[in-house]
C-alpha cells in the first residue's frame, strides 16, 4: 500500500511529522507533501498574495500525486486545499482520499461539513460529529480519537535552563478565547500560573502570559515541568453542540509526557483514561480549583496519576495503533 500524506496543520507541527512515522511503523509506504513549505517561503519573502500561495500549494500537490501514484491520499485537515483539487486527485490518480479532522464540531458548518463530500472516508476525533457527517451525506464517517508517540513524549527531557523557564504550579497551553480567559483569571492570584498560546497579550491574564505560543518538543518540555497541566476544551461550557464529546490532542500529549492533567469532563475521556487514576476531570470552575489545590499538596498522588496516564497511552493510545485502525477501515 502506498499513501501520500498531506500535512501542514500549523498548530500541530510535531504531530504532522509523527503521523508518517507511525504509518511506516505500521508497514505502509509513505510519501509526504507538506504545504507549510510553500507558506514559509512566502512568509519570509512576502512575494505573493494569499490567493496565489494557495494556488501554488494546490498545483504542487497535484504534481506530487501524479508523480507518486498513491493508492490513498491522507489529508490532515487541509485548509488550503481546493475542492477542485480533491476531485482532480481522484480522477487523475485513481486514489482514494481520506481526512482526519481535528476541529469538530465548531468548524463543521463552515469547513469540514462542506469539504467532507469530496473524500471517500472522513475521520473525526469527536464521536458527536460522526452523525453530523452522516446526515450531511458522508456515509464513511468514523470516530478516530487522537493518539501519540510515547517515545517522543518520554524523550523530551527539560534541562536546567528549560526547568527555570517552564516550572510552575499550573500551566495552560492553548489559544485565547473569552471562556478560557474567564476561567483562568480566577486562578491568577492563587498559584504560579503560566499561559502559552496565541491571543493572550491584551487579556486580563497578561501577567501570566509567557509571550508566545508553544509547539513541538518545547511544548512537551513545558508539560513535564508543570505540576498541573490544565486542559480547557474549546466551548465546553456551551454544550455538546459547541465542544463535541471528543478529547482534544492535549490529553494525549500530556499523557505522552507523564504530566498530571486536569481537564473539563469531555464525555469520551473516561473511555480512554480512568478519572482519578490516569487523569482528573472537573465540571465547574470551582471543582477545578479544588482539585488543583488538592493535588498541588499531594505530590506522590499527582505523580502517580501522570505515570499511569503514560502507561495507558503506551498500551492503548499510540499513534501507530491509530494508523493501524485507519488502515483496517480503508482497506475493508
Residue 159 three-state SS: coil
Residues 58 and 174 placed together within one structural domain of the fold? no
Name the grid cell of 213: 505560543
pLDDT given at position 38: 65
Q: Give the Å distances, CA to CA, from 209 to 115, 168, 261.
A: 36, 12, 19
pLDDT given at position 40: 56
**Among candidate residues 214, 234, 232, the one with its CA nearest the CA of residue 224:** 214
pLDDT given at position 189: 86
Q: What angle do CA 127, 133, 134 make, to 5 degrees?
A: 100
pTM: 0.94
Residues 256 and 132 placed together within one structural domain of the fold? no
Residue labelled with grid coordinates 469530496: 118
CA distance 181 to 3: 41
pLDDT given at position 36: 78
Other C-beta atoms lying within 10 Å of the C-beta of residue 160: 7
Residues 8 and 98 placed together within one structural domain of the fold? yes
pLDDT above 70 covers what percent of the chain? 95
- Weakly modelled stretches of the chain, pLDDT under 70: 9-12, 38-48
pLDDT given at position 239: 86
Residue labelled with grid coordinates 478560557: 180
Q: Is 3 exposed, middle or buried (0-12, 13-18, 19+ CB in 10 A)?
A: buried
Residues 165-174: b if buried by 16+ CB within 10 A, e if exposed:
bbbbbbbbbb
Q: How many domains does the chain have?
A: 2
Q: What are phi and psi of 101, to 5 degrees?
A: -110, 135
Sheet holding 121-124, edge to edge: 29-34, 2-7, 72-76, 96-101, 121-124, 141-143
Residue numbers of the domain that contains 37:
2-147+319-330
pLDDT given at position 42: 46
pLDDT given at position 9: 63
Residues 167 and 284 placed together within one structural domain of the fold? yes
Residues 224 and 289 placed together within one structural domain of the fold? yes
Name the grid cell of 284: 465547574
Amino acid at each position: 500500500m502506498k499513501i501520500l500524506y498531506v500535512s501542514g496543520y500549523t498548530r500541530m507541527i510535531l504531530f504532522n511529522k509523527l503521523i508518517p512515522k507511525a504509518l511506516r511503523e505500521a508497514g505502509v509506504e509513505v510519501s509526504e507533501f507538506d504545504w507549510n513549505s510553500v507558506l514559509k517561503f512566502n512568509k519570509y519573502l512576502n512575494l505573493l498574495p494569499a490567493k496565489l500561495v494557495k494556488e501554488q500549494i494546490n498545483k504542487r500537490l497535484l504534481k506530487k500525486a501524479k508523480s507518486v501514484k498513491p493508492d490513498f491520499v491522507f489529508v490532515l485537515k487541509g485548509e488550503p486545499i481546493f475542492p477542485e483539487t480533491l476531485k482532480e486527485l481522484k480522477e487523475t490518480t485513481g486514489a482514494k482520499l481520506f481526512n482526519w479532522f481535528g476541529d469538530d464540531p465548531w468548524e463543521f458548518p463552515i469547513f469540514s461539513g462542506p469539504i467532507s463530500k469530496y473524500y471517500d472516508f472522513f475521520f473525526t476525533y469527536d464521536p458527536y460529529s460522526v452523525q453530523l457527517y452522516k446526515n450531511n451525506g458522508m456515509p464513511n464517517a468514523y470516530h478516530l480519537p487522537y493518539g501519540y508517540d510515547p517515545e517522543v513524549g518520554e524523550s523530551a527531557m527539560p534541562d536546567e535552563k528549560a526547568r527555570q523557564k517552564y516550572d510552575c504550579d499550573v500551566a495552560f497551553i492553548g489559544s485565547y478565547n473569552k471562556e478560557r480567559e474567564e476561567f483562568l483569571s480566577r486562578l491568577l492570584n492563587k498559584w504560579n500560573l503560566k499561559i502559552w498560546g496565541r491571543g493572550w497579550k491584551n487579556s486580563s491574564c497578561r501577567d501570566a502570559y509567557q509571550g508566545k505560543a508553544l509547539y513541538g518538543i518545547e511544548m512537551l518540555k513545558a508539560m513535564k515541568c508543570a505540576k498541573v497541566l490544565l486542559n480547557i476544551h474549546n466551548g465546553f461550557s456551551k454544550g455538546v453542540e459547541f465542544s463535541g464529546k471528543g478529547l482534544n490532542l492535549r490529553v494525549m500529549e500530556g499523557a505522552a509526557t507523564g504530566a498530571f492533567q486536569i481537564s473539563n469532563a469531555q464525555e469520551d475521556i473516561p473511555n480512554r483514561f480512568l478519572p482519578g487514576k490516569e487523569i482528573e476531570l472537573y465540571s465547574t470552575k470551582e471543582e477545578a480549583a479544588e482539585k488543583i489545590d488538592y493535588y498541588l499538596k499531594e505530590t506522590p498522588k499527582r505523580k502517580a496519576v501522570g505515570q499511569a496516564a503514560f502507561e495507558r497511552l503506551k498500551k492503548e493510545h499510540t499513534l501507530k495503533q491509530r494508523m493501524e485502525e485507519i488502515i483496517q477501515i480503508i482497506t475493508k
